[in-house]
Each structure stands twice: as structure tokens, then as C-alpha cells.
Amino acid sequence: MSKLIAFEQVSLDGYFVDSNGDMSWAHKDDQESKDFAAKSASGGGVLVFGRVTYEMMASYWPSPVAAEQNPAVAAAMSKHPKIVFSRTLDEVTWENTKLIRGDLPVEIRKLKNVSDLDLVILGSGTIVSQLAEADLIDEYQLIVNPIILGSGRTLFEGVDHKLPLNLTSSRVFENGNVLLHYTTN
């Protein structure tokens, strides 16, 4: 059985996007972050997206600009198998991508039972909140950015019960970001 991992960037006050839906504040262009992203992207797993994150990723990673600016991550992102959950998309065009329209928690349960690879959610805050509410996320890898946004959307909107977590590791980056790795009980 595979694990479901949520890899997310959040502000110090807990938002994954600001009040305008922007998350450019989470992208610091320093070498340590690029190296970490390249190492993370080259790992195994099936990438899981919602429509909004998929459209953002698919517009950048397979592009010549991404291949020039960050070739290791661009190649890995295209190579990985990807799943997009959407009820509004008609098709997906990024290589190695499958579109699923079914009930999110039901489909994730099925995937966890049949996949040998872990499932990794990148971004996709609405999906994270729905799957957290359904107790389907096994690990949270949160990069906390040293910025206070004041308002925006939290990862856990709609979660109506406590989710106890265990901190398994942490890492401080030179740019001030902190990676916190939690597992569920």
C-alpha cells in the first residue's frame, strides 16, 4: 500500500496563497532551494494535482524556459507519472498525466491500495483540505516561509476535527525557510 504525502509551502501565519490567490512569495531563487527541489523532484512517486495547480505546473515545467532555468527539475517533473483531479478539465496534455473525475477520497483510497509508488500532492490546497478531512494523508512536508501574509487560504479549511501529527525531522534553509516533516498517528 502506498503513502499519500502532501508537500506544501505555507507562510508563517499558515496560508498557502495570499488573499489574491498568489503564491509567488513562496519561490525563492537561491541555489540551496534549487538543489533541494531537484533532489525532491528526482525521487519516486506519482504526483497528484488539482486543476489549478496542474494548469500552473503544466504551463511552466514542460516549457523551454523551465528546461533552461532548472533542467533537472523540468526533466523530472515531465518524467513522473501525474494524476489530475478535476471535474471541469476535458483533457490533459502534459506527458505521463492521467485525468480522474471521480470522488476524490474514494479514488485516492483506490490508488493507495493498488499503487506501489507513493502519491505526492504538490500544492493543490483544496485537495489537501479534502483529503486531510478524510484522514487520508500519511505525511505532511511543509516548507514554512518567513513571511506573514495577513490573509489568504489555509491548507486545512473545512477540517472539523483534530489531526495529531508527529514531527519526524526538520531542516532550516539559508534563505530562512524551514522544512517540517510530520507523519500522522
Per-residue pLDDT reduced to its tens digit, 8-57: 999 999 999 999 988 888 877 667 776 676 666 656 789 999 999 999 99
For 32-48, letters b (16+ CB in 10 Å) and e give ebeebbbebbeeebbbb
Cell representation of residue 112: 493507495
- Give the pLDDT band of residue 115 (cuts 50, 70, 90): confident
Residues in Cβ contact with 132 at an 8 Å cutoff, skipping those fewer than 6 apart: 6, 155, 156, 159, 163
Report pLDDT for 38: 61
**Cut 0.85: pTM above it:** yes
Q: What percent of the chain has pLDDT over 90?
A: 74
| Per-residue model confidence (pLDDT) at position 123 | 85
| pLDDT of 91 strictly over 80 | yes
Helix axes 71-79, 31-41, angle to 10 degrees: 20
Sorted by where each starts, the structural domains of the chain and their CATH numbers stand as: 4-184 (3.40.430.10)
Q: Note the pLDDT of residue 179.
A: 93
Cα–Cα distance measured from residue 185 to residue 164, given in angstroms and rounded to the nearest whole number: 6
What number is the average pLDDT over the span 114-143?
93
pLDDT tens profile 132-153:
999 999 999 999 999 999 999 9
In the predicted model, what is the mean pLDDT of the chain?
Answer: 91
* pLDDT the model gives residue 26: 83
